[in-house]
Amino acid sequence: MEQTTVWSFPNRGNWATHTGRYRGNWSPYIPRNLILMYSKNGDLILDQFSGSGTTLVEAKLLNRNAIGVDINPEAVHISRKNIDFQSNTNSNIYIKNGDATNLYFLGDDEVDFICTHPPYANIIKYSSDLEGDISLLNDIDYFSAIKAVANESYRVLKKGKFCAIMIGDKRTRGNAVPLGFRLMQIFIDGGFKLKEIIIKEQHNCKSTNKWVNIPRNFLLLAHEYIFVFYKV
pTM: predicted TM-score of the whole model, two decimal places: 0.94
User: How confident is the model at residue 204, as a pLDDT?
Assistant: 73
Local confidence band at 164 (pLDDT 50, 70, 90 cut-offs): very high
Q: pLDDT tens across 33-44, in order?
A: 999 999 999 999
Average of per-residue pLDDT across 13-21: 92
CB within 8 A of 102, min separation 6: which ones? 148, 152
Long-range contact pairs involving 200-207 (C-beta distance under 8 Å, separation at least 24): 200/6, 200/7, 200/8, 200/30, 200/166, 200/224, 200/225, 200/226, 201/6, 201/7, 201/8, 201/9, 202/168, 203/8, 203/9, 203/10, 203/12, 204/12, 204/20, 206/23, 207/123
Q: pLDDT tens across 96-137, in order?
A: 999 999 999 999 999 999 999 999 888 888 998 999 999 999
User: How confident is the model at residue 72, as a pLDDT?
Assistant: 96
User: How confident is the model at residue 211, as a pLDDT?
Assistant: 67
- Chain mean position to CA 82: 17
Residues 227 and 165: beta-carbon distance below 8 Å:
yes
- pLDDT over 80 at 8, yes or no: yes
Range of the domain at 181: 6-231
Average of per-residue pLDDT across 151-157: 98
Q: How far apart are CA 43 and CA 6, in angstroms?
A: 26
Q: pLDDT tens across 23-34, in order?
A: 888 999 999 999
**Domain containing 128 — which CATH number?**
3.40.50.150
Q: How far apart are CA 54 and CA 33, in angstroms?
A: 13
In a domain, 143, yes or no: yes
- How many domains in the chain? 1
Local confidence band at 173 (pLDDT 50, 70, 90 cut-offs): confident
CA angle 92, 230, 197 (to 5 degrees): 105
User: How confident is the model at residue 169, as a pLDDT?
Assistant: 94
Average of per-residue pLDDT across 143-172: 97
Q: How far apart are CA 39 and CA 55, in angstroms?
A: 13
Q: How far apart are CA 130 and CA 124, in angstroms?
A: 14
User: How confident is the model at residue 216, as a pLDDT?
Assistant: 82
In a domain, 211, yes or no: yes
Local confidence band at 217 (pLDDT 50, 70, 90 cut-offs): confident
| Mean pLDDT score of the chain | 94
- pLDDT over 80 at 212, yes or no: no
User: How confident is the model at residue 185, as a pLDDT?
Assistant: 98
Q: How far apart are CA 173 and CA 8, in angstroms?
A: 28
